[in-house]
Amino acid sequence: MSDTATIPGVEQAVALGLTRDEYALVCEKLDREPNEVELAMFSLLWSEHCAYKHSKKLLRTLPTEGPRVVMGPGENAGAVDVGGGWSVAFKVESHNHPSAVEPFQGAATGVGGILRDIFAIGARPIAVLDSLRFGEPDSERSRYLLDRAVAGIGHYGNSVGVPTVGGEVYFEGPYETNCLINAMALGLARTDEMVRSAAAGLGNQVILFGASTGRDGIGGASVLASAELDEEDESKRPSVQVGDPFEENKLIECSLELLERRLLVSLQDLGAAGLTSSASEMASAGKVGIDIDVARVPLREADMAPFEIMVSESQERMLCVAEPERVDEVLAVCAKWEVHGTVIGEVTDSRTMRILRDGETVGEVPVEALVDDCPLYDLEPAKPSEPLYPAPKATLRDGDDVLLALLGSPNIASRRPLFEQYDCLVGARTARRPEQADAAVLALPHGGGIAVSIDGSGRRVAVDPYRGTIEAVLECAANLACTGAEPLGLTNCLNFGNPEKPHIAWQLTESVRGLGDACRALGIAVVGGNVSLYNEGADGPIYPTPVVGLVGELPDPLAAGRLAFCAEGDAIGLLGPFAPRLEASELAKLRGEALPAELPDVDVEAVVAAHAAVREAVRAGRLSSAHDVAEGGVLVAVAECCLAGGLGATLEDDGEAALFGEGPGGFVLSGARADLEALGARVIGEVGGDALACGEQSWTLDELRRAWSALAPLFP
């Protein structure tokens, strides 16, 4: 160990995010105080973002195994078997805190990071989806964050050549301080060519390739992702990474060629905590040690200290392990793609992370202490006795047309101004694009297709974390059913406030319980995901927001269901165990109503049966359209079908609650009356004309479209 290595002490450890007890535990594990390099490594690997120390025990309760699961939690991404020797890899992650500080780069690098998770296991990225949350659009800050985050997503995805095929965006007051930027990516891989991250082989070489290393992103995992935001957010901008999608494109091709030629033992991307996390996690998975010489790391800034090199979160970098006799071939492929491959270390049998500078040891940490021995905390949940969230500001005035107000409300209006900034067709796999169906549909190389959707409902989860999370999973599965797809696996991003507070711990505990129960009811496994905590500021926590992404399969992507009414004279049916209620609905929000005390029980078995009925009817070609009932209720769903198809409809007026109430399990279908009745659907109207009529009221399609275009002014 270098005699010049400094010993920072407990105060510096606390400043870096460790508690005093955690620092004492670090000293116990090392049998001495850590030096500057070692403390930096521990502060990041033991951060909430990397260690999941307040959520890992809960996550262990989720179902993670199934007949179609190829890779589950613990790898860079999960993967499911889709037949023909192919697997689909997918994962969702957050970049919330960076995006609240610097929305363009925060959102852009969120896309870049989730893409690297996909090709790190040997899958070619084929699609991106995003799930976004902002404060109300009448806030200047929220409009700024929305505009720049959407621009960042479009910039990165479009430039790297991966289509953004779907997503969601919601506007609620509790996200004003802390926006949510969750990105999901999918990739395709030959199952037998996929690779895991575990390092192996004494003497094998550790190679870094991709962009050079700089000071951008230093401390991102601890400075941003594991702490609440405050009025000093501006000072945290240096902790936000800067992305280069064109470098990422080269990285994709280089990584896939290296794997196709079977030149690598293992592969890992550099995300949060940079070299520290990637190298130590590879060593932990392989039960080996790794030596890294920071003097060999290509730098773009002079005079970087060893600790800076080890924790830099500079983007577009990968770490791989190769046998010594294959190193020249690996470096030749890196040179071909101009990604600067460099041998920076080797695999040892020491079970230690040893950090060198020109051969001199500047840090030495047992892998087990760094990766596996972070303390895990038991939550102390307590249901709050008082409401956590204020009632929203009323925006619906007496005499306003309820349907038009709902169609123009921020959470229902057309997202076209957003998704038109994204290329949804590049790659030529997209069979159903945004606003054509409830889920995106992509073609597979061997025939057949997959559908993918991402969903979450913070307001309803805030009312009842258990039932609200079940509803979110069922909503996502309903979207797949409308295309004819059967779910294969789930990924999630759990966005919550400070888990050290009893009421937030209660939200998180109940939500994870609901997530597990919903997955078991659907017969699917959780193959991976992300947890983002401490999402709160001076005004309080965000709505608890479990975002779920589902991937399903269907036999023919070109025959996938659509939401548009498409035939004059078709009957309109309502199917499912749908029991609409106005409480916690979009209409209740427009009226400024406070959140209710609870949500009603969900007959999950009946809802899953309705999913199966819709799925089989779509596959059999017995339906002209299928659309699930979500925000705004039945009348809004029918209006969306009218607008998508350019056809009007005549509908029964069953009263305000039936028309605008919300809840799980409802589907608006169109087709032959006999087919709808055979499914058990209740016929509620008929397709036809150039207006939507409901009882005594009527709206032209132009009126509906003008209301539905309310978001357009936000994107001049």
Positions marked active-site: 49, 95
CA–CA separation, 248 vs 120, rounded Å? Answer: 12
167 has which bridge partners? Answer: 130
Residue 284: what residue type?
S
How many CB atoms within 10 Å of residue 660? 22
Residue 368: what residue type?
E
For every residue of 406-420, DSSP letters joined together read HHTSTTTS--HHHHT
CA–CA separation, 317 vs 303, rounded Å? Answer: 20
- Pairing relationship of beta strands 352-357 and 289-293 according to DSSP bridges: parallel
Closest CA to 450 of 67, 68, 77: 68
Phi, psi (rounded to 5 degrees) for 166:
-175, 180
Helix (H) / strand (E) containing 511: helix 502-522
> How would you class 332 by CB atoms within 10 Å of its CB: exposed for 0-12, middle for 13-18, buried for 19 or more?
exposed
Query: Residue 441: helix, strand or coil by DSSP?
Result: strand
- What's the token pair of residue 709? 């275009």
CA–CA separation, 88 vs 442, rounded Å? Answer: 11
The answer to whether residues 397 and 696 touch, using CB atoms and an 8 Å cutoff, is no
CA–CA separation, 373 vs 351, rounded Å? Answer: 14
CA–CA separation, 358 vs 124, rounded Å? Answer: 37
Query: Residue 495: helix, strand or coil by DSSP?
Result: strand
Dihedral class, residue 86 (left if φ above 0, else alpha if ψ from -120 to 50, else beta): beta
491 has which bridge partners? Answer: 528, 549
The answer to whether residues 462 and 504 touch, using CB atoms and an 8 Å cutoff, is no
CA–CA separation, 124 vs 118, rounded Å? Answer: 7
CA angle (389 as vertex; 494, 144 as ends), nearest 5? 70
The answer to whether residues 522 and 487 touch, using CB atoms and an 8 Å cutoff, is yes
Please give the sequence-ordered ranges of beta strands (E in DSSP) within 211-295, or none if there are none.
266-269, 289-293
CA–CA separation, 623 vs 631, rounded Å? Answer: 23
CA–CA separation, 101 vs 178, rounded Å? Answer: 9
Residue 350: what residue type?
S
HSE, side-chain direction, 13 A CA sphere, residue 561: 36
HSE, side-chain direction, 13 A CA sphere, residue 382: 7
> How would you class 325 by CB atoms within 10 Å of its CB: exposed for 0-12, middle for 13-18, buried for 19 or more?
exposed
The answer to whether residues 524 and 66 touch, using CB atoms and an 8 Å cutoff, is yes
Torsion angle, CA of 152/158/160/161, rounded to 10 degrees? Answer: 160
Q: Helix 465-483 vs helix 502-522: angle between axes, to the nearest 10 degrees? A: 30
How many CB atoms within 10 Å of residue 709? 16
How many CB atoms within 10 Å of residue 303? 6
HSE, side-chain direction, 13 A CA sphere, residue 502: 7
Query: Distance from first CA to last CA of the chain, Å, rounded?
Result: 59
The answer to whether residues 468 and 461 touch, using CB atoms and an 8 Å cutoff, is yes
